[in-house]
A and B are shown apart, each in its own frame.
Chain A
Amino acid sequence: MNEKNEKKHTLSVLVENTPGALARIAGLFSGRGFNIDSLCVAETLDPTLSHLTLVTHGDEFIIEQIIKQLRRLVDVYKVVDVTEEGDFVEREMALIKVRAEKETREEIFRICEIFRCKIVDVSPKTYILEVTGDEDKIKAVIELLKPMGIREIVRTGIIAMKREKKTL
């Protein structure tokens, strides 16, 4: 496997909202040695279907296999390689608990403003920041906050949606 040809792919998957469907997908990835970088699942407007955004990486043959193997699952209704089809919106949310002492609060505020983060919890020594954006933005915020002392980070993983009328 040539690692140079590896590329990150975001897949949108519609799957029957049945018990075991998620286990089947997770098991497919572990059983066949595919990678899951992130995974986000929730019900759709139609409560019998769940929408799943899955970020994975691999060369074109691996990605082709991943998509085909997903489609082969009896519970999987639809798979779209969002990355391949292009023109989509990608978002992730992170909650970041950062040390907020007297001397750093000012700087944190400034970062919040620039990146349009929200401070959603305040304690004498910490803030919790809510930041939404694509992967690069989240990464940038984390890098800037690191010197202040990050206590904890929780991320949702990426969700994605194709632009315009192209609904899934």
Chain B
Amino acid sequence: MMMSGAQMVVEALKREGVEVIFGYPGGAVIDIYDELYKTREIKHVLVRHEQAATHAADGYARSTGRVGTVLVTSGPGATNTVTGIATAYMDSIPIVVFTGQVPTKLIGNDAFQEADITGITRPITKHNFLVKRVEDLPFIIKAAFHIAKTGRPGPVLVDLPKDVLQAKGKFDYPNEIKLRSYNPNYEPHIKQIERAYELLEKAERPVLLVGGGVISSEASEEIKELAERLNLPVTMTLMGLGGFPGDHDQSLGMLGMHGTYYANMAVANCDLLLTVGARFDDRVTGRVDAFAPMAKIIHIDIDPTSIQKNVKVHIPIVADCKRALRKLLEVIKIGAKPKKYWKERFKDWWEQIDIWKRRYPLTYKPDPNYIKPQYVIEKLYELTKGEAIITTEVGQNQMWTAQFYKFKYPRTLISSGGLGTMGFGFPAAIGAQIGNPDKLVIDIAGDGSIQMNIQELATAMEQRVPVKIIILNNGYLGMVRQWQELFYGKRYSQVRFEVLPDFVRLAEAYGAVGMQITKPEEVEPALKKILELKTLVILDVHIAPEEGVFPMVPAGRATTEMILV
């Protein structure tokens, strides 16, 4: 069938089952927008800034497990997506970003709205393409979606010159695609699995460490089965939260810089660390040579580069987490040791962990005069029964959420872990809500972060997206202030906002509901109220201004060197 390049793009999106695109039009992509105008099968969400389009597609992808799709114009439209692409890349999130480009004849000419976006995004995409001939379009789009969602997922960018979009060619969309140079390995090596089991059998103080790979490979059922069968203590990275129920008896919560005392102590003292889909980021390990110093490490990951990158691993298993765990469970069942055996075997280890838990539980000091942010999150968890999808911005708001909201299910915490992108949470919440229209979606924000993509209030209103924004407002860039307090002699350099908008009136200006609270007793009624509202709400919560996030491991220190309060 003969089609224009622009028609091919829209047709290919339909074939890929894309139901929604986040985008912003411009000169180079008018032809695609003209085709979108004629179709009813694909919903287009018009954002107010291209960065938000990528974050929204990212939030959509994280919360649904489907590929997020973005469409923007050339030049500034394309460069504005860079932060969102880098965010998705660091957290291995599948999105496909279509950018317009100047006509092929003008490429390299410094034409109007020209940017070498494939060059710019090469280090922050899993792969990218510049389409030079219209007949290549179907194959490239098929490949883009295939690469984005297979193996270790990640963002893929497709750059579309205007003349390619206008040219006509034959549309022959492949059902299957094979790329000779790209063949991710899914199946684990059985010998390695058996060796892993041998180590598990010998272990006396094991810990199961769950990362984001468990969520992207949909392996949380297998993790739960493994943990329960062997009676393993489970800790999670920020990206892994929800991969194992946070309210489970065996959950130690998050580990690392702002992890729990008992999770960090358990890892520091374990003799076996079974790591699934985590990459030993510096925020998790602290000083590397003091990380799990007594432990043999088993590392399951689909990306070979994650293995042996930061810590030495004894048994590497390159495979899809889900399939590797299934194989391991099979081997365990052949071993046929009953649950009771394992319970007995790790009894002493659990007693030690319980001592740590009792000694320094995750806690904070209530104050009758100030709202404590941790209390807000605790109450929110209680009132939502852990059933909401929570997005966060970055900084203290993110860490308090990770600590005090006990994520029960995968894909319910949507947070920029690797890149740490302020301004991520709100557009990501819009994407998550569009992908999950029947769920409650809440953005936990700070007064700094929320202002980085505040313009998306218009998008949310236009799309009738009833996201709840809770601003933990301390008038500071709180995490930097906390570092300045602890490590820079309280020299608060450029972290205080002299001017903050009136968030209530700001919400109202966009036609949303705004509320503000300042006293602890207002927290519960206010939360109850916003959870009942069927509209976009900003709840501006004035919290104790100098509250810190604790425990805290100072950067570059061993994870056992925690500041506890």
Contacts and interface: CB of A to CB of B under 8 A. Distances in A.
A74 B148 CA distance: 11
A72 B118 contact: no
B308 A64 contact: yes
Contacts of A110: none
A61 interface: yes
Contacts of B123: 27-28, 31
Contacts of B119: 20, 23
A19 B119 CA distance: 11
Interface centre among B147, B182, B305 (most CB of A within 10 A): B305
Nearest to A66: B305
Interface in A67-88: 68-69, 71-72, 74-77
A31 B119 CA distance: 13
Contacts of A27: 122-123
A122 B386 CA distance: 83
Interface of B: 118-119, 122-123, 126-128, 130, 147, 179-182, 303-305, 308-309
Most buried by A among B123, B128, B147, B303: B123
A23 B181 contact: no
A15 B181 CA distance: 8
Interface in A114-163: none
14 contacts: A19-B130, A20-B118, A20-B122, A23-B122, A24-B122, A27-B122, A27-B123, A28-B123, A31-B123, A68-B304, A68-B305, A72-B305, A74-B181, A77-B181
A65 interface: yes
Interface string A16-49: 1001100110011001000000000000000000
Closest 5 CB pairs of A and B: A74-B127, A77-B181, A68-B305, A68-B304, A74-B182
Contact of B305 (A19, A23, A65): A65
Contacts of A24: 122
Given A20-B118, A24-B122, A27-B122, A72 B304 contact: yes
Contacts of A75: 127, 181
Contacts of B304: 68, 71-72
A74 B180 CA distance: 9
Contact of A69 (B127, B182, B305): B305
Interface residues of A, number: 20
Given A20-B119, A23-B119, 18 more contacts: A15-B181, A20-B118, A20-B130, A27-B122, A27-B123, A31-B123, A65-B308, A68-B304, A68-B305, A69-B305, A71-B304, A72-B305, A74-B127, A74-B182, A75-B127, A75-B181, A77-B180, A77-B181
B233 to A, nearest CB: 29
A74 B130 contact: no
B309 A65 contact: yes
A129 to B, nearest CB: 38
Contacts of A72: 303-305
Contacts of B118: 20
A61 B128 CA distance: 28
B105 to A, nearest CB: 16
Nearest to B182: A74
Nearest to B318: A68
A69 B118 CA distance: 19
Given A19-B130, A76-B181, A77-B181, A61 B308 contact: yes
A82 B122 CA distance: 27
A61 B309 CA distance: 8
Nearest to B303: A72
A133 B295 CA distance: 49
Nearest to A20: B118
Nearest to A21: B181
Contacts of A16: 181
A35 B147 CA distance: 28
* Residue among A27, A31, A64, A74 having the largest count of chain B Cβ atoms under 10 Å: A74
Contacts of B130: 19-20
A29 B126 CA distance: 16
